[in-house]
């Protein structure tokens, strides 16, 4: 059933693959893939913050099928299918199908397709990272080391496309193997009770090395997060990304201290036998072996092609200026708290009704009777009115109220738009509270019974609670992918595991209510309503994004138009195929956008020679792909801080052989500010003039200097009206 649903989902995505084009995101990856086709290399010939796998994959596909956007989007569809299936399988380790389906549904509701595809490597890295987490969970349940090796292979594959998610997931797995080693399944059947050496000092040294490694792991995980987020550290960033890792470390340390394994002759530092001590180092080695097997297979030839230049590998390990990448989150508001309160209040209210015995057929009958009395009273009161009221009017009033509520939602949808960004964090703290929720009193002190809470006394090879702890830690580590761009797009790839943890919280709450309320347990209808009420919070969090997605995708669902005037002043324009020199897919676009892109691409193709470089500013690299012309510089996006002063001077030198520049007037006000990239913008201002305006874009050229001798203004004038206009 899961495979069938995923196949249907992929088919639905494929039906959208022939729509829309994004000159910023899609253009970035398409252009870099074409540079790889031409023999350029990431880090050496062009700037890129990602590991190079995605560029080489796209270049390989275009070598076989040509410059076709739909073919590359098909790879993204496969990535989405694997992502949904892996996330569902991860949820099935903890919850039944209904709750396991909830995280994939939330992710797909948040997705930007069909409005924007982007061709981002996150859709390859995220499913592989989820599979790695799933493999670790399988190891915890089966005790078979091959699952650790497979987890390393999955993480290595993810690292080839995007380094941060893969790195965070691998670090979390190593953390678990080191910190919770006393609760992990044995790698082999021990021979004899304990294998020790006579030398007590040797045993002390071995145990001390193990304890120091565990202590370092507990410290390094949150410390790594703090170092990564340090440039834009704030109380909000710390609370969302650092504090959860600290909390997980504290819980795990207490779990280790409460281990059911007894000390053996060394007081509070137990020596468990040489086989156990060797396994402590073998488990991480098996995981890293899988990771390195994949990574070294591509890195060695890649590094060789770079002539072993270590200075070029900074972006590979995340050494980038975060100025142009950082996008913070808004702090929680009263509106957020109100939505959370209402969403959580619904299942609580139903549970209270069930506990009080009011959730029954008799209670529903009383509600129906009360509604009948209300209708009769309203009808009698309206007899003296000019327009008497009746039951049909009640339905009309209900429809009007619902329409008004939807209209109000449309007006206010964006007030809680970023609530979905807090959903994984809410899931973390809910699961954390349940994880540590079982306690008992010993004397006068409150003693948290973490051992019992995690099920460490179970006879199973891997305790069910340890899997919960793993998903909690892995989810908190993968959430670091939100930094530095803490937006809803990156949440698609960062929050999946924590959404699984949240589904487990809902399921455990549901099971507890059913246990306490026999009426719920006896009635499938009542249980169904209770399950639906638990969906209120994720639904209300995701609804603004769904509203935005439908609103942004509206042009795709307009009927196609045969012919459209170029200067049509008002929508709707219909849909037309984008016919440009650089692409063979002929995707459908809103006619205004299609005609703008087509006119710019045709103008650049007609006025330049094949292979002649052009330049776009600040972030519209799609025109390199559409016009089939290379970028003269190494930067497709010129965000603030992305190019160093020396690199900007090199860009100025490279622009000396460029005759045409496409300037995004809106982007020049949105992405950058006056003073950013000053050497580049000043060179453009003094050496180019406006040749043609096409929609929001200005085509600048050197030859226009003869017609317009004075320098360009610092802010280009924006034209209004039609889809394209000529002149200055």
- Confidence at residue 149, expressed as pLDDT on a 0 to 100 scale: 97
Phi, psi of 560 (to 5 degrees): -70, 150
Confidence class for position 619, pLDDT limits 50, 70, 90: very high
Phi, psi of 247 (to 5 degrees): -65, -40
Q: Where are the beta strands (DSSP E) in 111-160?
A: none
The mean-pLDDT minimum among 200-209, 509-518, 607-616 falls in 200-209
What single string gives the DSSP state of each residue in 373-404? HHHHHHHHHGGGSSS---HHHHHHHHHHHHHH
pLDDT digits (tens, 9 = 90+) for 143-162: 899 999 999 999 999 999 99
**Taking 90 as the threshold, does the pLDDT of residue 721 lie above it?**
no
* Cα–Cα distance measured from residue 678 to residue 470, given in angstroms and rounded to the nearest whole number: 48
> Percentage of the chain surpassing pLDDT 90?
45
- Confidence at residue 464, expressed as pLDDT on a 0 to 100 scale: 63
Question: CA nearest 591: which of 540, 555, 542, 615?
Answer: 555
Whether cis (ω within 30° of 0) applies to the bond prior to 484 is yes
Confirm if 14 and 109 have CB atoms less than 8 A apart.
Answer: no
* Cα–Cα distance measured from residue 112 to residue 545, given in angstroms and rounded to the nearest whole number: 9
Among 191-205, 260-274, 295-309, 389-403, name the most confident range.
295-309
Residues paired with residue 694 on neighbouring β-strands, in sequence order:
697
- Beta-strand pair 615-617/588-590: unpaired
**Taking 60 as the threshold, does the pLDDT of residue 404 lie above it?**
yes
**pLDDT mean across residues, the chain:** 82
Confidence class for position 625, pLDDT limits 50, 70, 90: very high
Q: What DSSP designation does 487 have?
A: S
pLDDT digits (tens, 9 = 90+) for 323-364: 888 888 888 888 788 888 888 888 887 777 766 665 556 666
Number of residues that make up the chain: 728
**Taking 70 as the threshold, does the pLDDT of residue 403 lie above it?**
no
What single string gives the DSSP state of each residue in 694-724? ETTEEEEESGGGGT--SPPPSSPPPP-SSS-
Classify the C-alpha dihedral 209-242-436-89 as positive or negative.
Answer: negative
Among 243-252, 603-612, 708-717, name the most confident range.
603-612
pLDDT digits (tens, 9 = 90+) for 632-684: 999 999 988 889 899 999 999 999 999 999 999 888 888 888 888 999 999 99
* Domain ranges for the chain: 2-188+205-334+436-534, 575-726
The pTM is what? Answer: 0.85
- Confidence at residue 378, expressed as pLDDT on a 0 to 100 scale: 76
């Amino acid at each position: 059933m899961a495979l069938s649903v995923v196949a249907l989902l992929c088919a639905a995505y494929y039906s959208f693959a022939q729509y829309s084009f994004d000159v910023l995101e899609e253009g970035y990856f398409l252009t870099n893939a074409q540079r790889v086709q031409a023999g350029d290399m990431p880090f050496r010939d062009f700037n890129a913050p990602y590991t190079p796998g995605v560029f080489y994959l796209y270049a390989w596909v275009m070598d076989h099928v040509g410059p076709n956007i739909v073919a590359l989007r098909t790879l993204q569809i496969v990535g989405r299918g694997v992502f949904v299936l892996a996330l569902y399988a991860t949820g099935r380790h903890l919850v039944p199908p209904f709750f396991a389906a909830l995280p994939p549904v939330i992710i797909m509701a948040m997705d930007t397709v069909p409005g924007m595809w982007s061709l981002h490597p996150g859709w390859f890295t995220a499913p592989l990272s989820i599979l790695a987490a799933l493999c670790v969970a399988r190891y915890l349940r089966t005790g078979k080391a091959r699952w650790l090796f497979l987890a390393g292979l999955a993480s290595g594959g993810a690292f080839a496309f995007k380094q941060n998610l893969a790195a965070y997931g691998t670090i979390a797995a190593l953390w678990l193997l080191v910190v919770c080693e006393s609760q992990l399944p044995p790698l082999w059947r021990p021979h004899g009770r304990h294998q020790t050496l006579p030398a007590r000092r040797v045993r002390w040294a071995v145990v001390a090395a193990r304890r120091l490694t565990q202590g370092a792991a507990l410290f390094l995980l949150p410390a790594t997060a703090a170092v990564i987020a340090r440039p834009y550290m704030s109380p909000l960033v710390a609370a969302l990304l650092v504090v959860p890792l600290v909390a997980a470390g504290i819980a795990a340390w207490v779990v280790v201290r409460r281990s059911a394994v007894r000390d053996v002759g060394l007081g509070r530092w137990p020596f468990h036998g040489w086989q156990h001590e060797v396994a402590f180092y073998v488990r991480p080695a098996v995981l890293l072996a899988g990771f390195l097997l994949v990574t070294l297979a591509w890195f060695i030839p890649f590094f060789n092609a770079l002539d072993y230049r270590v200075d070029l590998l900074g972006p590979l390990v995340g050494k980038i200026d975060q100025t142009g990448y950082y996008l913070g989150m808004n702090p929680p508001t009263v509106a957020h708290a109100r939505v959370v309160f209402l969403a959580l209040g619904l299942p609580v209210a139903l549970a209270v009704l069930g506990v009080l015995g009011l959730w029954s057929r008799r209670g529903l009958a009383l509600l129906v009777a009360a509604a009948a009395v209300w209708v009769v009273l309203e009808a009698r009161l309206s007899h003296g009115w000019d327009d008497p009221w009746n039951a049909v009017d009640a339905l009309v009033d209900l429809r009007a109220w619902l329409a008004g509520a939807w209209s109000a939602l449309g007006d206010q949808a964006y007030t809680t738009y970023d609530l979905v960004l807090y959903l994984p964090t809410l899931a973390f703290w809910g699961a954390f509270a349940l994880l540590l929720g079982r306690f008992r009193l010993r004397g006068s002190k409150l003693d948290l019974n973490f051992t019992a809470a995690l099920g460490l006394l179970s006879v199973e090879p891997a305790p069910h609670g340890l899997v919960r702890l793993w998903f909690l830690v892995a989810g908190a580590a993968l959430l670091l992918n939100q930094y530095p761009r803490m937006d809803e797009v990156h949440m698609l790839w960062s929050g999946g595991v924590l959404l699984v943890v949240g589904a487990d919280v809902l399921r455990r709450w549901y099971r507890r209510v059913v246990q306490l309320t026999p009426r719920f347990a006896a009635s499938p209808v009542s249980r169904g309503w209770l399950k639906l009420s638990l969906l209120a919070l994720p639904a209300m969090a995701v609804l603004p994004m769904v509203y935005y997605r439908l609103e942004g995708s509206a042009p795709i669902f307009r009927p196609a138009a045969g012919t459209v005037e170029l200067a049509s002043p008002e929508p709707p324009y219909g849909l037309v195929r984008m016919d440009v020199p650089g692409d063979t897919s002929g995707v459908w676009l809103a006619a205004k956008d299609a005609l703008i892109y087509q006119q710019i691409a045709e103008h650049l193709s007609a006025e330049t020679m094949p292979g002649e470089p052009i330049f776009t500013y600040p972030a519209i690299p799609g025109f390199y792909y559409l016009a089939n012309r290379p970028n003269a510089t190494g930067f497709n996006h010129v965000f603030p801080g992305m190019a160093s002063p020396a690199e900007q001077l090199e860009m100025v030198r490279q622009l000396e052989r460029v005759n045409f520049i496409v300037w995004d007037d809106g982007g020049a006000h949105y992405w950058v500010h006056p003073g950013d990239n000053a050497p580049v913008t000043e060179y453009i201002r003094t050496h180019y003039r406006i040749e043609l305006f096409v929609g929001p874009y200005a085509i600048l050229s050197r030859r226009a200097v003869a017609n317009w001798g004075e320098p360009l203004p610092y802010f280009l004038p924006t034209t209004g009206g039609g889809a394209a206009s000529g002149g200055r």
